[in-house]
Amino acid sequence: MGSSQSRLVLRAVLWEHRRARGPPPREGVPVTHDFDLLIRGGTVVDGTGAPARRADVGVRDGRIAEIGDVRGSATRTLDADGHVVAPGFVDIHTHYDAQVFWDRMLTISPWHGVTSVVVGNCGFGVAPTRPAHRDTILRTLENVEGMALDALRAGLGEEWPFETFPQFLDAIERRGTAINLGALVGHTPVRLYVMGEEATEREATDDEVAAMGRIVADALAAGALGFATSKSPTHVGWAGRPVPSRAASLAEIGALADCLAEAGHGLMQATIARGFFVDELAAIQRRVRRPITWTALLSGLFGPDGHRPVLEQTAALRRDGVEVVPQVACRPLNFEFQWKAPFPFESMALFKPVSAADHEGKKRLYADAEFRRAFRERGTRGGIADRWRDTVIAECTVEPALEERNVAVVAAERGVHPVDLVLDLALATDLQARFRIAVMNNDENAVAELLAHPSVVLGLSDAGAHASQLCDAPFATYLLGHWVREKRVLTLEQAINMLTARGAALFGLRDRGRLAPGLAADITIFDPTTVGCSDLRRVRDLPAGADRLVSEAIGVRAVVVNGVVVREDGHDALDPTGPLPGHVLRGGRS
C-alpha cells in the first residue's frame, strides 16, 4: 500500500472514530455522552434462562438503554471481558427490618451481588409498633431471630422515625439505601399493635381481626409486597412466649390474606407448622388467587427423601393453577449458638423455662440434675436433642484445644454423656462457649434435587437475622461457585434465573431480575471461574459492639444498582454517608 493510500485509510479510521464520539465539545459547554455507564465485552446472562451471549450493556438514567454491539461514548466504561454480566441478584428472604436504620449499605448482601432484598419475612418486623411496645418487639426479635438486644436498642434509638407501616417505608426512603428494598407487612407486629401483650395468649375477636385487616390493607396500599405470617414452633418470642402470629387461628390468617385479593397485588409468605402446611396454604390460595410461598423445604426436614412427596404435591397443585411455592436453600443450615440463647432447642417443651429465664436462671437450670436427666432422656427419642454427632465445639476459652472437635467424640473420650459435656463447658464459660450444629440441608444429593426442581424458589438467606449464629447472605456466590462450577448440578443460565427472574416474578418486582432495555439497571458482574465466598469470620461491627458472622465475596467484579456502581473489586464504590442509589420497591416498583 502506498503512502497516499495509507493516509486515506488513516483519515477514514479517524473520521469513523470521530463520528462515533460525536462532535468535539465547545469550550465552556459540558461534555455529554450517549450512556452514563457502558459495560463492554462481557458474557450476558439475562436472567430469563436464555443462552449466554457476548454483548455490551449501555445504561442511561438508571435503566438499561441497549444490549448488543453498543456504539457510542459513556461517562464511565467497565471492561467485563472474561466476566458474566447478569441481572442483580434478588434475595427474597431477609430480616434487615431493623438493620436498615443503622446500616444503609445493608451489608453484607451487596458484597455478594445482591441488589434487591425483601424484609418482613416470617411475619416479623418493626412496623407497625406503638411507642409502648418498642422494647417488646425488640425482645421478640432478640429471641426469635437471634438479634443482639443491645445492638437493636442502640441502632434504632429511643425515638423511632415511624409508628405505622406506611411511615416505616417513608423513613427508609428518606434515609436512603445502597440497594433496593421491598417489605412484607408482618403478622406479629400487626397483632401486637391491635391486641397488646395478649397477642401471644389467645385468638383474636372479630373486631380485632377487622382492625388487623385495615392495617394490612393500608400497608398494601402504601406499597407492601404482601403479608407474612408464621405458625412455626421454633418461633419463640420474649420471655419464652410464642410469637403473636402463632396464637392466630387459620380463620384469622385467611381473613388477612383476603386483603391481598382486595388489593389485587401482593403475595403471602408463611413459615409452616403442623396443621399449617401445603393443604392449608393451598386452600387459602384458591380463595385469594394470589401466590403463596412458604419457608422452607430443606433436606432432612421430613426425614430421608421426605422432600420428594412435597415436590410431587407442589407440582400437582401447580398444574391445577394453585401457586404454593416452597422456598429452598443452597447451603447447609448450620447454627453457631451459645447456651445463653439456645435457639435450635427452644421448640422443645423442656426448654420453655429456659427461654423464660434470665442469664442466672438459665445457669441454674443447666446445673440442675433433673433438667439434665430430662434432656438426656429426650435425646433417646431422636430429633435435635440427639444430634451430637452433628455438633462441634466452635469456641471454648477454658479449653481451646477442644475447638472444632466433635461433641460426641469428646464426650466418649471423657466417658460422659454429650448433654453433660456441653452444659459443663457452657457453665465453665458463663454461657459464652459456642457450639455449631448442622441442623439440616446437609444431604447434597437431596439438595441437588431441590435446586433442580422447577416448582421451587431460592430463599432463606435470613440476612440480617441470627447474625452471631449463622451467615447465609453469601448464598448467591455459593450457588455459583459450588452448585454451578464445582458440582455442575445447575447450568449458569439456570442458576442466574433462580437468583434473579424467578424470585423477582414471584414477589412482583416487575422491573427487576432481567436484563432488557427499559428495565432497571441492576447488574452484577462476576468471574465464573473464581466466583464464590470465603469462610465465615466473626467481627464486632454492630451497634453497641455486638458481633456477627460475615463472609467475603470472591470473584465479584462490580455491583450496579439503578445504574450506579456500588461495589467494585471487593470494595464499596461510593460514600456510605452520601446519596445512595437504592429504591424502596413499593408494590414491586420503585
- CATH of residue 93: 3.20.20.140
Q: Name the residue among 97, 163, 154 with its Cα closest to residue 131.
A: 163
Residue 520, strand partner residues: 63
Angle CA 282–284–285, to nearest 5 = 60
Q: Give residue 31's pLDDT.
A: 61
Q: Are residues 113 and 181 located together in one domain of the fold?
A: yes
Tell me if 108 is assigned to some domain.
yes
Same domain, 291 and 434: no
Decide if 526 is inside a domain: no
Write out the three cell numbers for 242: 410464642
pLDDT of residue 19: 38
pLDDT score at 17: 40
**78 has which bridge partners?**
39
Q: Are residues 361 and 276 in the same domain?
A: no
Residue 116 within a domain: yes
Q: How confident is the model at residue 32 (pLDDT cuts 50, 70, 90)?
A: confident
What percent of the chain is predicted at pLDDT more than 90?
Answer: 92
Lowest pLDDT segment from 25-39, 162-176, 436-450: 25-39
Q: Is the same domain home to 159 and 185?
A: yes
pLDDT of residue 21: 40
- Return the bridge partners of 77, or none: 38
Sign of the torsion angle spanned by Cα atoms 189, 194, 200, 205 = negative
The dihedrals phi and psi of 219, each to the nearest 5 degrees, come to -65, -45
Residues 417-442, mean pLDDT to the nearest whole number: 97
SS3 316: helix
Tell me, what's the pLDDT at 480?
Answer: 98
Q: Dump pLDDT digits (tens) for 531-545.
A: 999 999 999 999 999
Q: Does residue 4 have a pLDDT over 70? A: no
- Is 63 part of any domain? no
Assign 388 to helix, strand or coil.
Answer: helix
Question: 523 near 43, Cβ under 8 Å?
Answer: no
Retrieve residue 176's grid coordinates. 436512603
Say whether both 296 and 418 belong to one domain. Answer: no
Q: Quick one: angle between helices 418-428 and 369-379, nearest 10? A: 140
Domain edge (last residue) among 422, 438, 454: 438
**How far is CA 352 from its chain centroid?**
28
Q: Assess if residue 221 is contained within a domain.
A: yes
Residues 141 and 124 in one domain: yes
Residue 583 has pLDDT above 60, yes or no: yes
| 26-35, 73-82, 550-559: the lowest-pLDDT one | 26-35
Question: Which pTM was predicted?
Answer: 0.92
Q: Does residue 92 have a pLDDT over 60?
A: yes
Do 305 and 161 have their domain in common? yes
Q: What does the alpha-carbon distance between residue 158 and residue 132 come to, in Å, rounded to a whole number?
A: 11
Residue 38 has φ and ψ, to the nearest 5°, of: -130, 120
Count structural domains, the chain.
2
pLDDT band at 26 (very low <50, low <70, confident <90, very high): very low
- Residue 3 forms part of a structural domain: no
| CB contact set of 66 (below 8 Å; sequence gap of 6+) | 35, 56, 57, 58, 517
Q: Rounded mean pLDDT of 256-284?
A: 98
Beta partners for residue 38, in sequence order: 58, 77
**96 and 200 both lie in a single domain:** yes
Non-local (6+) Cβ contacts of 27 within 8 A are none
Question: Does residue 346 sit in the same domain as residue 447?
Answer: no
Q: Give dist(CA 15, CA 20) in Å, integer.
A: 9
Q: Is the pLDDT of residue 448 over 50?
A: yes
Do the strands 553-554 and 532-533 form a parallel or antiparallel pair, or are they unpaired?
antiparallel
Name the phi and psi angles at 458, rounded to 5: -85, 125
Mean pLDDT of 258-271: 98
pLDDT of 323 higher than 90: yes
Residues 305 and 362 in one domain: no
Sequence length of the chain is 590
Q: CA-to-CA distance for 547 and 496, rounded, in angstroms? A: 32
As a dihedral over the C-alpha atoms of residue 313, residue 319, residue 320, residue 326, rounded to 10 degrees, the angle is: 50
Give the separation between CA 218 and CA 256, rounded to whole angstroms. Answer: 12
Is the per-residue pLDDT at 28 higher than 70?
Answer: no
CB neighbour class for 445 (10 Å; exposed up to 12, middle 13-18, buried from 19): exposed
Q: Tell me the pLDDT tens digit for each residue of 476-534.
A: 999 999 999 999 999 999 999 999 999 999 999 999 999 999 999 999 999 999 999 99
CB 42, CB 54: distance < 8 Å: yes
Are 179 and 114 in contact, with CB atoms under 8 Å apart? yes
Q: Where are the alpha helices (DSSP H) in 277-330?
A: 278-288, 307-319
Q: Is residue 295 in a domain? A: yes
Q: Determine if residue 321 is left, alpha or beta; phi over 0 gives left, psi from -120 to 50 gives alpha, anything else beta.
A: left
Domain limit, last residue, from 492, 513, 534: 513
- Same domain for 388 and 257? no
Picking from 513, 538, 573, the residue at the C-terminal end of a domain is 513
- Per the structure, the complete domain to which residue 264 belongs is given by 89-332+441-513
The answer on pLDDT for 27 being more than 70 is no
Three cell numbers written together for 231:
405458625
In a domain, 546, yes or no: no
Cis before residue 128, ω within 30 degrees of 0? yes
Average pLDDT, the chain: 94
The residues with which 526 forms a beta bridge, in sequence order, are 84, 556
CA–CA separation, 206 vs 216, rounded Å? 15
Is the pLDDT assigned to residue 170 strictly greater than 70?
A: yes
Report residue 402 as a C-alpha cell: 477442644
Same domain (yes/no): 386, 421: yes
In the sheet that holds 391-395, the strands lie side by side as 333-337, 434-440, 391-395, 405-406
pLDDT score of 342: 94
> What's the grid cell of residue 186?
408482618
Position 30 confidence tier, pLDDT thresholds 50, 70, 90: low
The per-residue pLDDT for range 44-60, each reduced to its tens digit, is 999 999 999 999 999 99
